[in-house]
Structure 1
Amino acid sequence: MMVRDEVDIVAAMIEHTLDQGADLIIVTDNASVDGTTEVLEAYAATERVELHHDPLHKKQQSKVVTGMARRARTEHRADWVLNLDADEFLVPVDKQLTVREALSRTSLHLNAFTTEVVNLVGPPAWSGGGIGRLDWRDHRPVEQLHEIGIHAHPTPNCVHRGESDIVVAQGNHFVSLLSNGQPPAEVAMEVYHLPWRSWAQLERKVVNAGKAYEGNPELKPSKNHHGMADYRRYKAGRLQEAYLARTPTRGEIERGVPEGHYEHDGWLSQHLIGLAGRAVLPQQLEAVVGPDRDHPVPDAEHEAGAAAGRRWLAEDRLATAPA
């Protein structure tokens, strides 16, 4: 994985992935300034993480991740390679299995296959990683997503066989290997994704991504690219309201459950809390796991900000709609 300023979640992701049976995590730190580098250095000292550094901020994800994916094969003889972000937690659908056990029962003949990605959402916070707070699978209809400034649910991720000439596309969702199908249903996997963990995290992520794309004009993100849409909202001074609009109020969750728009799933939170006794670096995990690590947005403030955000997003859709 390639990371930048993910100190609120990266230790949890590393501990989870190692606990799921990964032999090694190869990480490139993209000149983080929030403490992420120091966390990664601590894990590198355990030799369970191989740490590299890339100081350029030009959104060169495809090039960097492709290099790490190739290294996984050429230097470490990996059978399977998982290209993940710091906010992505890969796990079998059957939670009695680990990722390693699922992959051991998956034929290498498949070459590459996809895993569904589900966003975990919940009430907002000004800061914090969201573990213990973001326990709701987001199944909102696409029409509702459009109303809160989101284009679509996440694109599936790709797991691939180790290959020395693999190419990983920008975003980690596609690779150059031709897929020969999907694993059997009993060993299927999915990704828990925590994209909007707090206002502090989202603002940092949006500014970092927007400036990186501006620094690399050769990249042409889609007009629907969520990061660039949020960067435009940030520059308009409306990103915080948009964040509060996209995070459901407690009332919205309560009303949305019977409609199938939200599904409670506390597995990831309980799993991460339960890792404390077998974590590689318990102190790093403890620093980010648990709702007491968050600074929640008060309900009244959330509802007022979300209402303002919805009004502005509606106006913005009309202003930017094609003629």
Structure 2
Amino acid sequence: MKLAMTLMIRDAADVIEANLRYHHAQGVDVFVVADNGSTDGTVEILERYEKAGLLRLERMPGQLTEVWGSGRTKIARLAFELGADWVIHNDDDEFWWPLTGNLKEALGAIPEHFGMVVAPRTEFVARPGEGFFANRMTAREARFLRPPKAAHRTHPQVVLAQTHPGQIWLEDARTNIFSGRPGLRQQGADHSARPNMELTFAPSFPIRILHFPLRSLAQYCHRVELADAAKQLGASEREEVRIAYESGRLEEIYDGLVLSDKQVARGITEGWLVEDTDFRDYLAACPDPLNGGNAPGGSRDWSSERRERELAELQLDGMYALTNYVRRGKSGTMLTASRRARYRALNRAERRLKELERRLKHIERSRWWRLRPRPPRLPHRRSSVRRP
């Protein structure tokens, strides 16, 4: 089996080499990377891997929002052209972590009639300092309840709007009709005529995704700058960040996201954080693919009791991710994260309106309102026009 991984990145020099080194040790045979105009040394790193035959580099400059969908689709189809059997759609700050074996073994064990694996995602919390992120960030959320990602069998007609499982489908040039499927969505109604296009969700969840979104102040500030340039700070939930960026207060926002040792200890005690050094230790043991060396074993050095517990928790988190972020509508199509985000924004607006109405009623019942100064009433003037 040949395993490919796609990435669309920009200015990820602080993390991309660790990402490539880790996933190569996990069995990824080829990386298909779209660079969106990096200027921080990312391209030079990618070119070294390309020269070694481990990576296919596609340069895609321009505004990210304009090249995202077409770029993701292009590199997903390139994975098929390069002979890959499975493809993982990844981001530069995410690390796919199988609980048994390595990634190639985990995906190779999926039965033939299943074509997509959903991977729950969790975040490692931001920590103080500017050193290598994996050495500092060793506390993560206890459960994997973030929006999931997906790996799937390669196909020449795959289309990606996003890397979310419900935003991946297969294209049929004969029709533009979408039919909701329990896996990759398929354009076209005659499913019995094209059974090979059916790619359904596997009922097991063998892989976690470890996410490191906030690695340093400099990385966070640059991330906000790129989001502003791509006009991605307009959403209501990002208004605070946009205002802070425009007023030069991003450091204040970042400091509020960083957890101290005391806060981490409290989170572990309360059960919403866990200390996780397994990834740090595994990454440190991964050899440089450009210099050779043996990759560490994929299996974790865990007791059988811990492995069973971790697998059971991952199955629960996988079902939560699948049912909470990918649902079927009345028309049979997928209700995906983007639509759910709109519903959440509407619910937040309704709650805000109710809160303002409650405050207004409180003000109207107050003594100040009753005794407030009022403008004098003007004398009533009779109309000089007689009415019949």
TM-score higher than 0.5 here?
A: yes
Amino acid paired to 1:155:
P
Larger Rg: 2
- When residues 129 and 105 of structure 1 are mapped into structure 2, their CA distance, relative to the original with a 3 A threshold, is same
Pair 1:282–1:207, CA change in 2 (3 A): farther
The correspondence for 2:249, drawn from 238, 243, 261, is: 238
Percentage identity across aligned positions? 29
Structure 1 residues 19, 171: closer, same or farther in 2, change over 3 A? same
State the TM-score, normalizing by the size of structure 2.
Answer: 0.62
CA distance in 1, matches of 2:265, 2:75: 43
How far residue 243 of structure 1 moved from its aligned partner, in angstroms, is 1.4
Structure having greater relative contact order (Cα 8 Å, sep ≥ 6)? 1
| Unaligned residue ranges in structure 2 (runs of 5+) | 1-6, 171-180, 184-199, 293-347, 357-388
In 1, Cα distance between equivalents of 2:163 and 2:245: 21
Aligned length: 263
Change (3 A) 1:255 1:19: same
Query: In the TM superposition, what are the counterparts of 1:104-143 in structure 2 within 5 Å?
Result: 104-125=108-129, 127-139=130-142
Distance 1:183 1:16, change over 3 A: farther
Asked if 1:190 is matched to 2:183, the reply is: no
1:250 Cα deviation from its structure 2 partner = 0.8
Is the 2:162–2:168 contact (alpha carbons within 8 Å) kept by the matching residues of 1? no
**Change in 2 beyond 3 A, CA 1:171/1:243:** farther
The question of 1:279 aligning with 2:288 is answered yes
Once residues 53 and 98 of structure 2 are traced to their aligned partners in structure 1, the CA distance between those partners, rounded to angstroms, is 25
Contact 1:124/1:199 (8 A) holds in 2: no
Q: How far, CA to CA, are the matches of 2:125 and 2:150 in structure 1?
A: 22
Summarize the alignment of residues 17-28 of structure 1 with structure 2, pairs less than 5 Å apart. 17-28=23-34
Aligned 8 A contact 1:115 1:157 in 2: yes
More moved, 64-73 vs 101-110:
101-110
RMSD of aligned Cα (Å): 2.7
1:149-180 Cα distance to aligned partner (Å, 9 max, x none):
xxx96311111111111121235553125423
* SS of residue paired to 1:205: helix
For residues 12-37 of structure 1, the C-alpha deviation after alignment (integer angstroms, 9 at most, x for no partner) is: 00011111111100001111111111
Corresponding letter in the other structure for 1:165: Q
Question: What is the CA distance between 1:46 and its match in structure 2?
Answer: 0.5
Q: State the shift of 1:321 in Å.
A: 4.6
Cα shift at 1:248? 1.1
Of 3-12 and 111-120, deviating more is 111-120
Runs of 4+ in 1 over 6 A off after TM superposition: none
Aligned residue among 150, 168, 171 for 1:175 = 168
In structure 2, how many angstroms separate the alpha carbons of the residues matched to 1:167 and 1:230?
32
**Of 192, 199, 217, the match for 2:217:** 199
Q: Distance in 1 between matches of 2:265 and 2:215?
A: 20
